[in-house]
Chain A
């Protein structure tokens, strides 16, 4: 099972005793296979844990009194939900004992706490349900109270399950995480909430084992990968997995591929041939571009998709030649409005349970995944390249990641992969790919990156467009418009940050160019830095003089004093700066920047 991090909110398990231990927590972790990463207590090592867990008491202790702390609890949930690794699951206790601490160090509790109306767990649940940002947090109740008492209440609050504390075993927890948790896949890249929800839905449907599962998603969203994931998560894993592509294939060939033929069914049918449906018997049949199926195949498919029949008929066979099959069928289409279309049989759509179709999110709905996908595609392209130029491993500059995260990916993940692959192939000697090296799709959007994206990219707030060359970037800095007096006042406190970001961006462009133009020599196999060609490349100006090139380097490095110190720790930039200073020892004639 992929790694998962769970949050346990429980008064008894959350606290820590005087010796820095919580024995109850230790024992729970040991018996259900949890690795305690809360960090507030000494944790016993657990063999082969199934998840990491953080424990939260949900209460505060002041003056010998224990009180429930709703705001603090919500903050803890929020903190672990905003960014990866986020909570795969929250296990929530219902009844929390409060009041004065007794002789045994435990709160005495109030009689009223025995009433479900006052359960603190319900108060937490209601807040989670009310907050749109936290509504997707998967919650299971972990309580030793009677389920019947509270079932009606928690059912309305998106709770997935109720687990009796006494019945929480390793196996039960594993099932909980797999069935309801938001966990990554080992085979498909992504950990944004919309994507993880899609994976969860796929696992839940796959568990049935003989369902017809429709995947609806725009082109390039990864439906084929998801279909295989369904197969891997189903009881049919390890058995046959057969794919049928239908787009652009003539009607008779689709029929032949899907259902096969008998000998003599048509002129060239010299021998009987089973179709994909038969080949997938006991396993999974995946029909790609299901929305493109011609009408004649649609009617033939009805019997195969009827779970009570599951029959397949080869071309040229008689009615009694129907073959009974046992399989799971996954179908995919990018025709999101297929239900409204006139050219598709409605009975077939109902048979594939179109209302329960799994929506595969578009890349614009899961921008948080872009940095992760970029990293994956770079490594993939490098493997294909076999590093004949010794450039591996490459990185992508933070500003390029920002540009990628803000782009309009109507071509989805496939488009992103092509962009990265193209950049790696076009600039085989660059170790750092900058925004200028990427062919971003038309209609770029300038959205502020989500917190998850910013964290993943390791960058601050998004600046104005910086996807051009170093020359464009410096022009942009020169022309930076702070607006009227009011606007200037508004920007004043932020100027250092603006300069710092410009400086980092410009320096990373320059650094990439310096690496790209390095000339290996027998004395220096790494390559000697060539300042002039590097700046010409970065500025996109072949006529640039050597002295101007030196000035540009001095200027870029000196835009911001704080950043300069940081840039000087980079050996490449430091060497380039020293060369530039030797070439142009006088003060740089570069413009002084500031508010206009």
Chain B
């Protein structure tokens, strides 16, 4: 399960959130602050990139929700050689392995921090989205009034991305 989770994390956090979304967001702010903003490109961001948060946000939440089960060494009991253990041994041993892994990695605390970061970014997004959707793109001055909020949102997204990256990579036994 971990390889699949790892692939999803790469696609969501590495490829989309960090490499794409934040870069587009920063370029949007930079274009907004240019003496003569390129309206077509501003429009392009608002139409294509901005809404992706709404679509990918739940996928990110799903990723976080499945992290514990996907990364736990308990899964090793599903594959040889540990899968050959007697069912009654597996039942108690896998529980201990999982509990000790949780204690050692502080995963739940780390996941809680990631969730807090996600909630913060998501709240900022929806607040901004409500305001941006009421502004016509050609009204650059009104859009410009949101630049500081957009920057704060960028910082919140970066924090979230960094915290997701810090989660364990693959199933760690030791």
Contact = CB atoms under 8 A, between A and B. Distances in A.
Contacts of B4: 111
B30 interface: yes
B10 A109 contact: yes
A12 B18 CA distance: 12
B166 A146 contact: yes
A124 to B, nearest CB: 18
A115 B9 CA distance: 13
Contact of B44 (A23, A112, A144, A165): A23
B19 A165 contact: yes
Given A24-B20, A106-B15, A166-B22, A111 B6 contact: yes
Contacts of B34: 47
B161 interface: yes
B18 A30 contact: no
Q: Which among B18, B19, B34, B44 has the greatest number of chain A C-beta atoms within 10 A?
A: B19
A114 B31 contact: no
A145 interface: yes
A397 B109 CA distance: 74
Contact of B10 (A30, A31, A44, A113): A113
Given A23-B24, A27-B27, A111-B3, A97 B10 contact: yes
A31 B27 contact: yes
Contacts of B144: none
Contacts of A24: 19-20, 23-24
Contacts of A47: 34
B14 A166 contact: no
A165 B158 CA distance: 11
Interface residues of A, number: 26
A446 B127 CA distance: 74
A65 interface: no
A109 B7 contact: yes
A95 B18 CA distance: 13
Interface string A16-35: 00000001101110110000
B108 interface: no
Interface in B155-174: 158, 161, 165-166, 169-170
Contacts of B6: 111, 114
Contacts of A145: 14, 165
A17 B27 CA distance: 19
Contacts of A28: 23, 27
A112 B169 CA distance: 12
Contacts, number: 71
A26 B23 CA distance: 10
B138 interface: no
A527 B44 CA distance: 65
A149 B169 CA distance: 9
Contact of B27 (A26, A115, A144): A26
Contact of A114 (B7, B22, B27, B41): B7
A566 B18 CA distance: 57
B31 A30 contact: yes
Nearest to B154: A166
B59 interface: no
Contacts of A30: 27, 30-31
A485 B130 CA distance: 87
A427 interface: no
A110 to B, nearest CB: 7
B11 interface: yes
B14 A95 contact: yes
Nearest to A26: B27
B7 A144 contact: no
Contact of B14 (A111, A115, A144): A144
A289 to B, nearest CB: 52
Interface string B1-39: 001101101110011001110111011001100100010
Nearest to A169: B26
A524 B23 CA distance: 66
A514 B158 CA distance: 71
Contact of B18 (A27, A115, A165): A165
B10 A27 contact: no
B26 A111 contact: no
A47 B7 CA distance: 38
B161 A166 contact: yes
A236 to B, nearest CB: 34
Nearest to A170: B30
Given A27-B24, A114-B9, 19 more contacts: A24-B19, A24-B23, A26-B27, A26-B41, A27-B26, A31-B27, A95-B10, A95-B14, A109-B10, A109-B11, A109-B15, A111-B4, A113-B10, A114-B7, A144-B165, A145-B14, A145-B165, A146-B169, A165-B18
19 contacts: A12-B15, A24-B20, A26-B27, A26-B41, A27-B26, A28-B27, A30-B31, A47-B34, A97-B10, A106-B15, A109-B7, A111-B3, A113-B10, A114-B10, A145-B165, A146-B169, A166-B18, A166-B22, A166-B161
